[in-house]
Amino acid sequence: MNGPSSQRDARSTLTRAAPTRAAPSHAAPFDTLLIANRGEIACRVIDTARRLGLRTVAVHSDADRDARHVRLADAAVPIGPAAARDSYLSIPRVIDACRRAGAQAVHPGYGFLSENADFARACDEAGLIFVGPPASAIDALGNKSAAKQLARRVGVPCLPGYAGADQDEALLVAEARKIGAPLMIKAAAGGGGRGMRRCDDVDDEAALVGLLRAARTEAQGSFGNGTLLLERLLETARHVEVQVFGDRHGRYVYLGERDCSTQRRNQKVLEEAPAPGVDADLRQRMGEAAVKLAREVGYVGAGTIEYLLAPDGQFYFLEMNTRLQVEHPVTEAITGLDLVEWQLRVAQGEPLPLSQEQIRLDGHAIEARLCAEDAFAGFVPQSGRIEAWSLADGHDVRVDHGLAPQASISPHYDSMIAKLIAHGSDREQARRKLIAALQASTIAGLTTNRDYLIACLRDPHFANPDLSTRWLTDAAAAWHAPAPDARWIACAAALRVDQLGAVHGDLASWSSMGPYERPLRLRVDDAIWQTRVRTLGDGRFEVAVRPPSGAGGDTTTFSIGVDTSTPGLLDVDGLRLRGRFTGQADAGHLDLDGVSARFDDLEREPPTRSGGEHDGEIVAKMHGQVVAVNVADGQAVSRGQILLSIEAMKMEHRIAAPIDGIVHNLAVAVGQQVSSGRSMLTIRASAGAPADA
């Protein structure tokens, strides 16, 4: 990424130091760094550490033994089973891994133990450098309630709310009524949208208590702390955050701000820097307030102060993240700095490389979080093997990922696959570059949010920009997943037959319809397309496509040429198209002309029980753990009633009844692990209620 030359020149290699086991009460040199994390952030830290000449050590669960971060590190230590609580969240196991590998320092990344004050203390007691703030600073700022009390004390603006230690339910109800609606209920510990609920009617006590209990349960399960805070909801605000840095010599700087208003379910989707519409005066006021908070607690290292920015330009303190943020690359892009390098410098006792006056911002950067989830169907998380992947970088586009050649997405961890960061001379250039990079990136075998991200970037609210934390929820209500048309199906059929011919040679044995013409039925989602493929030789095909039953339209015939010398290059009725195709034994994945989808080959696929919620059967759509069961066998339920909840990829997913009826065959209990496709219960329709209502 480009940045001011004075900032690029500030980068230099850290001196490798002799190992030391002295207790690092302040700082100490080190030459071996253990990364207490996984995935793309572990790979990101390893990259910088290796450039600085440091030896790197990875830790991994049993599920991650072949992960990319394990392959990249100089050494790797197994730390337990797949469940995070038994591996990445186990402080004793991480500390023991440092001892076994000879590491003198620990970088926590983000998530897991990164904001755990007990972990920072354990590192110090073990004679290890914790690459982050001291435990006292995490205690003071890492908890939202404590941080708000501190912010009010030092004069940083806060919204009306309650952040007290008394968590009596009746008191919380009374405080909520004092604050008024709309109201946000938040977990005092942790983040990422977990343990957060919106309340629009504080006078409905039953509903309010239900939201409080749900937030507390999710907070306790996610962070081991069920403490809640209450805060007045600012409807049209933007989410703007300031990157701060402190060293052990009492020096502090802020590195501009980021706009993270593009959110869904209080989780960030797109982030950008600098924030649109923030002028130099507002940037300075927010930055100086952020530094005031950091200085008050003797903060060391990278941290982020998050604000709500009202339309009138007034900002209000939300919380501090006492770690490196997921979205730190957009700050790196516009400053030309490596924030991980700064973290490692400061951890060794060096002063900050630049003063506030030396920091310059150059251009604009936007980051997109590519996740394994079905964004157009309730953000259902996806897990399993990735058949093939291609992520577009270059031309001012950076990609951070943790994908190995034979990659898979585990149900035990966060669903993020990669981050794509585009940098341009201005916001519009960065936006267009990011759209192009996403269009050129493919994850075959799993559904991702790629097309949802493209829709976000193209929406007029984002392009103009007209941002608030609500814009995405409102705009996306009308969005739909790009659907294949007859031409897409024809291309999929031609590529499928071409693949089968290459694998099996004699196409005649594949069908009884003759050697040069054969039927092919392709299923995409719930639609079944009938095709007839005629092979003409030399990679040429004639494909007749009949629309799915009930869709209407006539059979259409296409002339398709498959370029055998250039994979993915097609000639469709004289039009050249480039796609990305991956074929499996009974399925395929085609990314072509704006549609990226899996199809099943019904000619080769044996009949199987359909999944989903047909006729009242409730089937798990994801791997996860049952965290709530709200019904019993024989109980009458109404359509829309919450039946049970599954926790998967750090999110709680509530499953509602699709019809009115009676519960039968309840086959799951709280604490049980379920796999995708598992039948959990059945609802038999009540008299007079249609089974497919």
- Kindly indicate the confidence band of residue 22, based on its pLDDT and cuts at 50, 70 and 90: very low
User: Of 416-425, 514-523, 559-568, where does mean pLDDT reach its minimum?
Assistant: 514-523
3-state secondary structure of 84: helix
The whole-number average pLDDT for the span 305-320 is 95
The 10s digit of each residue's pLDDT in 628-649 is 899 999 999 988 888 998 877 5
Residue 264 has pLDDT above 70, yes or no: yes
Place of tokens 């805060």: 231
Q: Please tell me the predicted confidence (pLDDT) of residue 420.
A: 98
Between 87 and 623, residue with greater pLDDT: 87
Q: Please tell me the predicted confidence (pLDDT) of residue 615.
A: 53
Full-model pTM: 0.83
Q: 308 and 315 in contact (C-beta within 8 Å)?
A: yes
Q: Please tell me the predicted confidence (pLDDT) of residue 2.
A: 41
Residue 288 has pLDDT above 60, yes or no: yes
Distances in Å between the Cα of 644 and the Cα atoms of 194, 379, 612, 623, 654 are 18, 17, 15, 14, 6
Residue 106 has pLDDT above 70, yes or no: yes
User: Of 68-82, 421-435, 552-566, where does mean pLDDT reach its minimum?
Assistant: 552-566
Q: What is the spatial distance between Cα 214 and Cα 200, in angstroms, rounded to a whole number?
A: 15
Count the Cβ atoms, other than its own, within 10 Å of residue 289. 20
The 10s digit of each residue's pLDDT in 130-181 is 999 999 999 999 788 889 899 999 999 999 899 888 999 999 999 999 999 9
Residue type, 168: D
Between 690 and 257, residue with greater pLDDT: 257
The 10s digit of each residue's pLDDT in 41-65 is 999 999 999 999 999 999 999 999 9
Exposure b/e, 242-272, CB count within 10 A at least 16 = b: bbbbbbbeeebbbbbbbbbbbbbebbbbbbb
Q: 253 and 302 in contact (C-beta within 8 Å)?
A: no
The 10s digit of each residue's pLDDT in 412-430 is 999 999 999 999 999 999 9
Residue 1 has pLDDT above 80, yes or no: no
The whole-number average pLDDT for the span 534-556 is 90
Place of tokens 């590491």: 103
- Kindly indicate the confidence band of residue 651, based on its pLDDT and cuts at 50, 70 and 90: low
Question: How many Å from the N-terminal Cα to the C-terminal Cα in the chain?
Answer: 53
Q: 103 and 34 in contact (C-beta within 8 Å)?
A: yes
Q: What is the spatial distance between Cα 596 and Cα 335, in angstroms, rounded to a whole number?
A: 35
What are the DSSP calls for 138-157, one per residue? HHHHTSHHHHHHHHHHHT--
Q: Please tell me the predicted confidence (pLDDT) of residue 55.
A: 98
- Residue of 373, 296, 114, 308 lying closest to 223 (CA atoms): 114
What are the DSSP calls for 663-687, one per residue? EE-----TT-EE-TT-EEEEEEEPT
- Residue of 541, 535, 476, 488 lying closest to 507 (CA atoms): 535
Q: What is the spatial distance between Cα 390 and Cα 441, in angstroms, rounded to a whole number?
A: 5
- Please, what are the domains in the chain? 32-133 (3.40.50.20), 160-232 (3.30.1490.20), 486-601 (3.30.700.30), 614-685 (2.40.50.100)
Q: What is the spatial distance between Cα 231 and Cα 477, in angstroms, rounded to a whole number?
A: 26
Q: 342 and 302 in contact (C-beta within 8 Å)?
A: yes
What are the DSSP calls for 359-399, one per residue? ----SEEEEEEEESEEGGGT-EE--EE-SEEE----SSEEE
CA dihedral over 398, 404, 410, 412, signed as positive or negative:
negative
Count the Cβ atoms, other than its own, within 10 Å of residue 155. 9
3-state SS record for 447-503: CCCHHHHHHHHHCHHHHCCCCCCCHHHHHHCCCCCCCCCHHHHHHHHHHHHHHHHHH
For residue 303, the surrounding DSSP H or E stretch is strand 301-309
The 10s digit of each residue's pLDDT in 477-489 is 999 999 999 999 9
Residue type, 144: K
The 10s digit of each residue's pLDDT in 168-206 is 999 999 999 999 999 999 998 866 678 889 999 999 999
- Kindly indicate the confidence band of residue 588, based on its pLDDT and cuts at 50, 70 and 90: very high
- Residue of 574, 538, 542 lying closest to 558 (CA atoms): 542
Q: What is the spatial distance between Cα 160 and Cα 181, in angstroms, rounded to a whole number?
A: 11
